[in-house]
Amino acid sequence: MCACGWGRHSDTLLFPMTEFFDTIVRVRYAETDQMGFVYYGNYYVYFEVGRVEYMRHHGVDYKQMELQDDSFIVVAESKCRYIHPARYDDPLRIRTRVAEFKRRTIRFLYEVLHDETRELLATGETVHVVCDSHGKPKTLPEKYRRFFDVQADVQTAAEISAPPAQ
Amino acid sequence: MCACGWGRHSDTLLFPMTEFFDTIVRVRYAETDQMGFVYYGNYYVYFEVGRVEYMRHHGVDYKQMELQDDSFIVVAESKCRYIHPARYDDPLRIRTRVAEFKRRTIRFLYEVLHDETRELLATGETVHVVCDSHGKPKTLPEKYRRFFDVQADVQTAAEISAPPAQ
Amino acid sequence: MCACGWGRHSDTLLFPMTEFFDTIVRVRYAETDQMGFVYYGNYYVYFEVGRVEYMRHHGVDYKQMELQDDSFIVVAESKCRYIHPARYDDPLRIRTRVAEFKRRTIRFLYEVLHDETRELLATGETVHVVCDSHGKPKTLPEKYRRFFDVQADVQTAAEISAPPAQ
Amino acid sequence: MCACGWGRHSDTLLFPMTEFFDTIVRVRYAETDQMGFVYYGNYYVYFEVGRVEYMRHHGVDYKQMELQDDSFIVVAESKCRYIHPARYDDPLRIRTRVAEFKRRTIRFLYEVLHDETRELLATGETVHVVCDSHGKPKTLPEKYRRFFDVQADVQTAAEISAPPAQ
């Protein structure tokens, strides 16, 4: 996965993505299991932390999105690929980006790295549907849309990386 | 702790309690930590299971108590003493009883045993306050009171264990 | 997904699988989140329970596999699709089968149903690699292989469903 | 509880303690339950974080204590009093101190405050026994002892707070 705002999702398709935003978490004893590694289900908790901090960084207070705008980012799909085990007390870098955003759905991608060795430990993905508090799908309120807008982000990236005009 | 409906809570006080009700849970991999034992905070999850099954056995559907009667059994205090470690896949017997019941508070006691060896692994206690959905303390609705009534239970126990009249 | 031992994994491929084995779990309060549903990461705990009980049912004591045979079923990939939310106290039926078994890898499929309404709540998949306690991949010990053997199971199913010879 | 290094543990006894060390954690969605508050068992996870960061701040790398010195700080008792509920996304200040230290046992005290409002949400306590990896109690290795030494800390505090000599 490149960090340039464009990524390969399948073998055939290139599509725009937002930049990664990184959050650091430290592995808790509670999150390990008797194999001495982080329990496989707990990576999804790290993804949650990465996702929420990604939103906060982009100006979205998810707590207020639920309370004030009756908009819940409900998980429809999740997956994780485990490459190397994370261990107790490891500082983990959770890299999060938006891979796709439509009016009612958002797709996040994640990378989990050991923050000191920079070894890639896991990658993951979650797909979300915007719902009201009764679980009924709805369009994401206007004011939040630009925060997830992949095209806008890519455009900005394109501007930044564009060669100087002669 | 005796199983007869009367117990020693401190060194000086005897008081009535309900009978123990037992629930079996099996230790999940997710509940262990890298020491190879059940993580200390997870005993409180077992207490929750014991408490809910105790209530169900006594005719109280806790889910409905929340939904229909706006009565939440909020935890005010919890404690646990760890005697021997529980391990992955151990079948645990969670023994639960009501030690005290007032109009607004309920105190539960727990014992956690290995269900095969009958070794006592842990003991615990939780104190609860009945609240509405806004967190305001309230009196437990009439219809639920008899289920927690320690005196009634002790009376029944007394009748059962009373020597036959001559 | 059919229950006959053959399933459609993609749109084009039919392949053999073992029969589903079902385990019932009840949703704990600890497993819900403030949306009032089961937290998305906790389905992976249910998958673990389903997987272990599947193995136990087929004669494999996973605890002993780790202790006596130094064989750990390490998770390499996991995914879940959430169809309808599970709620507190819901009785869940975790249906588990082996979709693929090679000497070093096992792929499990899961379905989570509400045990009373039989509504399908979620489906999932985990891929595992057999490792020793140092995390090094190894071949699954001979004695365990037949328990995961998809072909054998399908053969049995074929025998059972074969029309009576004339 | 005062922050001066001396505290009242029971109604009758004054005893020395170390200073509080503070750690900030943010409540995760995974840690809430359907009541909309932090699940009562998860405060013990916060205590773990506070305890480990307390040790790290005082020069003790707990991970290495386990790996290099075969010394595990096993929990023997835990308790928590819940005063006000913590909610999703709340920044929590976990205040941790050592209340008692003997050669084989350590007692920690905790306070959980909302980091913005400074409201006291919960208080707690854990008692630990130093064990080897087989669970056998042992004396804490010499090199770690001074980090938990309450008397030393109090002495330092006394020096600092001593009125200037005339």
- Give chain C's domains with CATH numbers: 19-152 (3.10.129.10)
Alpha-carbon torsion, ordered B27, D131, D14, D123, to 10 deg: -30
Name chain D contacts of B42, Cβ cutoff 8 Å.
41
DSSP B12: S
Chains linked to C by 3 or more Cβ pairs within 8 Å: A, B, D
pLDDT at residue B165 in the model? 46
- CB–CB of A93/A87 below 8 Å? no
- CB–CB of A4/B6 below 8 Å? no
Question: What is the nearest CA distance from B100 to chain A, expressed in angstroms?
Answer: 32
pLDDT at residue B152 in the model? 55
Tokens of A11: 């073998």
CA distance D28 to A140: 22
- CB–CB of B23/B94 below 8 Å? yes
Measured CA to CA in angstroms, residue C66 lies from A147, B88, B89, B108, C103 at distances of 47, 11, 12, 37, 17
Give tens-digit pLDDT for B85-132: 999 999 999 999 999 998 899 999 999 999 999 999 999 999 999 999
CA distance D114 to D120: 7
Mean pLDDT of the B6-15 span:
39
- CB–CB of C157/C24 below 8 Å? no
Q: What residue in D sits closest to C86 (Cα-Cα)?
A: D34
Name chain D contacts of C30, Cβ cutoff 8 Å.
33, 39, 41
Residue C43 has pLDDT above 90, yes or no: yes
Measured CA to CA in angstroms, residue D88 lies from B131, D75, D162 at distances of 20, 27, 43
Which region among B64-78, C87-101, C146-160 has the lowest average model confidence (pLDDT)? C146-160
Is the Cβ pair C48, B63 closer than 8 Å?
no
pLDDT at residue B164 in the model? 46
pLDDT at residue D6 in the model? 37
Residues of chain A predicted below pLDDT 50: 1-15, 154-166
Helix (H, G, I), strand (E, B) or coil at C101: strand
Contact residues of D toward B, CB < 8 A: 35, 40-42, 44-45, 48, 72, 74-82, 85, 126, 135
Sequential DSSP letters for chain A: --SSSEEESSSS-EEE-PPPEEEEEE--GGGB-TTSBB-GGGHHHHHHHHHHHHHHHTT--HHHHHHHH--EEEEEEEEEEE-S--BTT-EEEEEEEEEEE-SSEEEEEEEEEETTT--EEEEEEEEEEEE-TTS-B-PPPHHHHHHH-HHHHHHHHHHHHSPPP-
Handedness of CA B139, D125, A31, A1 (dihedral sign): positive
Chains linked to B by 3 or more Cβ pairs within 8 Å: A, C, D
Query: Rounded to 5 degrees, what are φ and ψ at C128?
Result: -125, 150
Displacement of CA B100 from its chain's centroid (Å): 11
Handedness of CA B129, B131, B137, B140 (dihedral sign): negative
Question: What is the nearest CA distance from A76 to chain B, expressed in angstroms?
Answer: 23
pLDDT at residue B150 in the model? 67
Name chain C contacts of D37, Cβ cutoff 8 Å.
34
Helix axes of B62-69 and B43-57: crossing angle, nearest 10 degrees? 80
Higher-pLDDT residue of D136 and C12 is D136
The closest CB to that of A82, out of C41, C77, C81, belongs to C77
List CB contacts of C72: < 8 A, sequence separation 6 or more: A35, C65, C66, C130, C131, C132, C133, C135
pLDDT at residue B6 in the model? 37
Instruction: Please state, as a whole number, how many other Cβ atoms lie within 10 Å of the Cβ of residue A73.
Output: 24
Helix H or strand E segment including B148: helix B142-148
Is the Cβ pair D72, B42 closer than 8 Å?
no
HEC string for chain D? CCCCCEEECCCCCEEECCCCEEEEEECCHHHECCCCEECHHHHHHHHHHHHHHHHHHCCCCHHHHHHHHCCEEEEEEEEEEECCCCECCCEEEEEEEEEEECCCEEEEEEEEEECCCCCEEEEEEEEEEEECCCCCECCCCHHHHHHHCHHHHHHHHHHHHCCCCC
Name chain C contacts of A78, Cβ cutoff 8 Å.
40-41, 79-80, 82
Is the Cβ pair A40, C78 closer than 8 Å?
yes
Q: What residue in D sits closest to B36 (Cα-Cα)?
A: D133
Query: Rounded to 5 degrees, what are φ and ψ at B108?
Result: -105, 145
Tokens of A82: 């485990």
pLDDT at residue B102 in the model? 87
Burial of D89 (0-12, 13-18, 19+ CB in 10 A): middle
Contact residues of A toward C, CB < 8 A: 35, 40-42, 44-45, 48, 72, 74-82, 85, 126, 135
Q: Which of A24, A27, A28 to mutate to test the interface with D (most CBs of D within 10 A)?
A: A28
CA distance D130 to D72: 6
The closest CB to that of D30, out of C29, C41, C88, belongs to C41
Residue B52 has pLDDT above 90, yes or no: yes
pLDDT at residue A1 in the model? 32
Question: What is the nearest CA distance from C90 to chain D, expressed in angstroms?
Answer: 13
The pLDDT > 90 percentage for chain B reads 69
ipTM comes to 0.83
Name residue, tokens 């087929």: C58
Contact residues of B toward C, CB < 8 A: 28-30, 45, 48-49, 52, 62-63, 88-89
pTM higher than 0.95: no
Residue D3 has pLDDT above 70, yes or no: no
Question: What is the nearest CA distance from D32 to chain B, expressed in angstroms?
Answer: 13
Is the Cβ pair D29, C39 closer than 8 Å?
yes
- How does residue C151 score in pLDDT terms, banded at 50, 70 and 90? low
How far apart are the two ends of chain C, measured CA to CA in Å? Answer: 32
Residue C142 has pLDDT above 60, yes or no: yes
Cβ contacts below 8 Å, chain A against chain D, sum to 22
Helix (H, G, I), strand (E, B) or coil at B48: helix
Give tens-digit pLDDT for C116-128: 999 999 999 999 9
Mean pLDDT computed over every residue of chain C: 84
- CB–CB of A112/A122 below 8 Å? yes
